[in-house]
């Protein structure tokens, strides 16, 4: 089904249509130490992940080139994000940090603030409180959020569930109930100026809650990470969600994200799936692929030097 979409899209019009420029707000990096630790060996379609962290980086970079990804918000362990940034000849990488709990990597607020001042954390996320049995509204996260507010650092938080195997293996405290976007509401109330996006848009579990939060908090964005490729059933949800968001008038706060994890081909698959949705106009697609993220990230605004 997915290959079918790809072929149809590539053949439309007089020759292949040029791909619009893209900002991918949901890319993952790894180092040898954590490569493949959290993912199953094969994805839903039976495709194996990249064999190692370096091949994974090279294949992801090749996909950036092929699919016109001009910027990518990369989250992973700090070492892997720095390795990606060091190898990035095109200023594509926006440095994120993958954290499930505020203590990960032996982090504390002093080090966190220093990393921000050094430009080594440009987006606080992907945060996965869900995986550590916490929510972003819990006390442990608040000192970090206050620092993000102080330095105007955008926050990217995982919403929705996770891989079904997680709770029985690497994330024993993960519970579906913790993926509810409404659990982020206290953060929106406490830090009204904080730029925040809900990764996975509430997933298959809570798309309506993501939509309701967008309606109520007019500065809240969502990304489509994993939702554009992971399973045909998820793609069906996403298609319906985008129709509903279009109807509601909030498409200008939807961000493209692939969430390729260990499968770099998912970047192209995500781009192709969004292109295949013919209920979206070209202008709406351009917004999701690039313009909304450029606005959210304030790419045109010179950086503050704190």
Distance in Å, CB of 90 to Zn ion, minimum:
25
**Residue (43 or 284) nearer to Zn ion, CB:** 43
Closest contact distance (angstroms) between CB of 118 and Zn ion is: 25
d(CA 214, CA 192): 14
Q: Which residues have C-beta within 8 Å of that of residue 206, sequence separation ≥ 6?
A: 159, 160, 179, 180, 181, 182
- Residues 6 or more apart in contact with residue 70 via CB below 8 angstroms: 21, 22, 23, 90, 92, 290
Tell me which stretch binds Zn ion (CB under 5 A): 147-155, 181-189, 197-205, 296-304: 197-205
Using CB under 5 A as the binding rule, the residues of this chain from 124 to 163 that contact Zn ion are: 158
65's CB contacts (< 8 A; 6+ apart) are none
Its sign, for the CA torsion 202, 96, 99, 259, is positive
- Closer Cβ to Zn ion, 28 or 195, answer by number: 28
**To the nearest whole angstrom, how small is the minimum distance from the Cβ of residue 293 to Zn ion?**
17
Residue 176 CA to residue 162 CA, distance in Å, equals 8
How many residues bind Zn ion, per CB under 5 A? 2
State which residue, 158 or 253, has the beta carbon closest to Zn ion. 158
What mask of x and - would describe binding to Zn ion in positions 3 to 22, judged by CB under 5 A? --------------------
- In the complex, what is the shortest distance from the CB of residue 16 to Zn ion, in angstroms, rounded to a whole number? 31
CA dist., res. 286 & res. 284, Å (int): 5
Q: Which residues contact 216 (CB under 8 A, 6 or more apart)?
A: none
State which of positions 208-247 bind Zn ion (CB under 5 A).
none
In the stretch 267-306, what mask flags binding to Zn ion with x, by CB under 5 A? ----------------------------------------
Task: Tell me how far, at minimum, the Cβ of 199 lies from Zn ion, in Å.
Answer: 5
CB of 77 within 8 A of CB of 30? yes
Give the footprint of Zn ion on this chain (CB under 5 A).
Answer: 158, 199
């Amino acid at each position: 089904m997915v290959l079918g979409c790809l072929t149809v899209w590539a053949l439309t019009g007089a020759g292949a249509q040029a791909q619009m420029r893209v900002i991918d707000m949901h890319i993952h990096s790894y180092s040898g130490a954590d490569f493949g630790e959290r993912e199953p060996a094969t994805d839903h379609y039976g495709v194996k992940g990249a064999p190692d962290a370096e091949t994974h980086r090279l294949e992801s970079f090749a996909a950036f080139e092929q699919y016109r990804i001009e910027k990518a918000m990369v989250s992973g362990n700090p070492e892997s994000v720095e390795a990606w940034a060091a190898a990035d000849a095109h200023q594509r990488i926006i440095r994120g940090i993958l954290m499930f709990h505020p203590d990960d990597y032996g982090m504390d607020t002093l080090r966190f603030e220093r990393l921000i001042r050094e430009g080594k954390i440009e987006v606080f996320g992907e945060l996965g409180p869900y995986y550590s049995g916490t929510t972003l509204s819990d006390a442990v996260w608040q000192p970090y959020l206050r620092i993000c507010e102080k330095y105007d650092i955008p926050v990217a938080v995982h919403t929705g569930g996770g891989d079904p195997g997680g709770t029985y293996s690497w994330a024993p405290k993960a519970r579906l109930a913790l993926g509810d976007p409404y659990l982020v509401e206290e953060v929106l109330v406490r830090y009204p100026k904080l730029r925040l996006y809900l990764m996975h848009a509430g997933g298959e579990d809570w798309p309506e809650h993501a939509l309701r939060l967008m309606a109520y908090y007019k500065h809240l964005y969502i990304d489509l990470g994993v939702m554009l490729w992971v399973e045909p059933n998820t793609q069906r949800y996403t298609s319906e969600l985008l129709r509903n968001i279009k109807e509601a008038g909030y498409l200008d706060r939807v961000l493209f994200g692939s969430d390729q994890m260990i499968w770099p081909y998912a970047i192209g698959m995500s781009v192709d799936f969004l292109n295949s949705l013919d209920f979206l106009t070209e202008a709406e697609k351009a917004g999701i692929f690039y313009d909304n993220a450029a606005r959210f990230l304030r790419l045109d605004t010179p950086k503050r030097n704190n």
